[in-house]
């Protein structure tokens, strides 16, 4: 059993920075769990506190049901992979991978055999005698993973492990990591500031802000129904449109001069209530002619997304982004309309 439970976990650094503010999380055995949030929200601190590299100032860490809050890192049986891999530059790949076994006083021959076995699983066989400086970023990252795997920990803690790779390698490494986790069925806590990475990899995602967990859910839940405008603003490959409006009769919402459908959430609100109107660029339909229940504006920016285009309209309702298919001609400087898909509209009252 290697579930990880965090119970009202807090960390205040000397000097008074509250990096973790009562974090409650229950991560299941074998789960691939992503922690997502902007720089400075406490992700690294959370991982380091689980690993025992930072001491909690309040609350508890349970691993496999055991309270490990007072245990040193070496006795928690978890392995951390750092953002910069933290490989030993003067050691070969074999020695790097075998290092945690050496710390555990495993004998030389057994150590090398185990290191070679783990290296083989990760496709590093040909590189065993090289030093980190002779490896590509992706290879270094695999060595760091192999080192983490070598002593069969109960959980992996991965701190932005893909962020030092270039875009293409990053996608490859992402798929590789997901496959590896599936095969090993090991609990993984994966930290990232990249929402696409979190959604692609994780069984569940936690959105963090200022040392607190603001939402936990499956990628589909967090994408479909971000719990607040903070989570909404950083989930999705194109940011959600978030516009100030006011509820009107008949479940409609006024956003500037536009009256647009308020969606499923409007029924619970009263006319006159202020709301933040949320709709993803993918859930707006572009129109080149006037149409009712739509935002209107002038096309100011057209960005090519490959198989689609991201079009920005500026008008009296604000600045609105719409995803438009690749075959539609859209010219900057022309008037345009954007019709929300009612069942995908989200209304927030926290803005
Ligand atoms: P993230 O990994 O999400 O970027 P961190 O956990 O590194 O966030 O940092 C969370 C907050 O704690 C930040 O305000 C950061 O400046 C502060 N912090 C991190 N490490 C220390 C430290 N050793 N001493 C004091 N403050 C720290
Ligand atoms: Mg960090």
Domain ranges of the chain: 4-234, 241-348
Comparing 62-66, 82-86, 195-199, 210-214, the range with the smallest average pLDDT is: 82-86
Could you tell me if 279 and 240 are in contact, meaning their C-beta atoms sit under 8 angstroms apart? yes
> Read out DSSP for 246-265?
EEEGGGEEEETTEEEE--GG
The domains spanning 4-234 and 241-348 adopt the same CATH topology: no
Ligand nearest to the CA of 12: 1
CA–CA gap between residue 100 and residue 18 (Å, rounded): 32
Q: Could you tell me the sign of the dihedral formed by the alpha carbons of 90, 74, 128, 133, in that order?
A: negative
- Pocket test of ligand 1: the residue of 34, 36, 40, 206 to mutate, having most ligand atoms within 8 Å of its CB, is 40
User: Which residues have CB atoms below 5 A from the ion given as ligand 2?
Assistant: 44
pLDDT for position 122 = 85
pLDDT in tens, 280-316: 999 999 999 999 999 999 999 999 999 999 999 999 9
What share of the chain in percent tops pLDDT 70?
99
Residue 138 has pLDDT above 60, yes or no: yes
CA–CA gap between residue 30 and residue 140 (Å, rounded): 25
User: In ligand 1, which atom is closest to the CA atom of 46?
Assistant: 6
Domain 4-234, CATH homologous superfamily name and number: P-loop containing nucleotide triphosphate hydrolases (3.40.50.300)
256 in ligand 1 pocket by Cβ < 6 Å?
no
Average of per-residue pLDDT across 181-190: 92
* Distance from residue 348's CA to the centre of ligand 2 (Å): 29
15 in ligand 1 pocket by Cβ < 6 Å?
yes
pLDDT for position 106 = 87
CA distances from residue 305 to 65, 223, 310, 322, 326 in whole angstroms, order as listed: 46, 20, 7, 12, 9
Could you tell me if 72 and 51 are in contact, meaning their C-beta atoms sit under 8 angstroms apart? no
User: In ligand 1, which atom is closest to the CA atom of 159?
Assistant: 2
Ligand nearest to the CA of 39: 1
What is the torsion angle, in degrees rounded to the nearest 10, for the CA atoms of residue 209, residue 212, residue 218 and residue 223? -30
45 in ligand 1 pocket by Cβ < 6 Å?
yes
Q: Which CATH architecture has domain 241-348?
A: Beta Barrel (2.40)
Band (127; pLDDT cuts 50, 70, 90):
very high
Model pTM score: 0.89
Band (1; pLDDT cuts 50, 70, 90):
low
- Atom 15, ligand 1: residue with shortest CA distance: 40
pLDDT for position 351 = 54
* Distance from residue 66's CA to the centre of ligand 2 (Å): 26
The interface predicted TM-score (ipTM) is 0.99
């Amino acid at each position: 059993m290697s579930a990880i439970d965090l119970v009202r976990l807090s960390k205040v650094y000397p000097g008074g920075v509250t990096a973790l503010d009562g974090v409650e999380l229950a991560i299941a055995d074998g789960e691939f769990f992503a922690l997502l949030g902007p720089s400075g929200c406490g992700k690294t601190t959370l991982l380091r506190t689980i690993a025992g590299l930072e001491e909690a100032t309040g609350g508890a860490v349970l691993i496999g049901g055991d309270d490990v809050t007072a245990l040193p890192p070496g006795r928690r049986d978890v392995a951390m992979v750092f953002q910069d891999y933290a490989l030993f530059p003067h050691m070969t790949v074999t020695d790097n991978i075998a290092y945690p076994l050496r710390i555990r006083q495993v004998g030389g021959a057994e150590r090398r055999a185990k290191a070679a076995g783990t290296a083989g699983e990760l496709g590093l066989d040909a590189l065993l005698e090289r030093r980190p400086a002779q490896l590509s970023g992706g290879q270094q990252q695999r060595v760091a993973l192999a080192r983490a795997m070598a002593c069969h920990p109960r959980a992996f803690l991965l701190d932005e492990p893909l962020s030092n790779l270039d875009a293409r390698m990053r996608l490859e490494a992402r798929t590789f990591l997901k496959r590896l986790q599936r095969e090993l069925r090991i609990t993984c806590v994966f930290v990232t500031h990249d929402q696409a990475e979190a959604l692609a990899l994780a069984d569940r995602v936690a959105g963090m802000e200022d040392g607190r967990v603001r939402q936990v859910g499956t990628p589909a839940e967090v994408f479909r129904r971000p719990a607040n405008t903070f989570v909404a603003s950083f989930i999705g490959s194109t940011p959600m449109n978030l516009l100030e409006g006011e509820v009107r009769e008949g479940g409609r919402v006024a956003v500037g001069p536009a009256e647009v459908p308020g969606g499923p959430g409007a029924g619970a609100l009263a006319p006159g209530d202020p709301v933040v109107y949320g709709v993803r660029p993918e859930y707006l339909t572009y129109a080149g002619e006037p149409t009712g229940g739509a935002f209107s504006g002038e096309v100011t920016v057209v960005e090519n997304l490959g198989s689609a285009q991201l079009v920005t309209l500026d008008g009296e309702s604000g600045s609105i982004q719409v995803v438009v298919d690749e075959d539609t001609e859209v010219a900057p400087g022309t008037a345009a309309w954007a019709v929300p898909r009612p069942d995908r509209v989200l209304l927030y009252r926290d803005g």
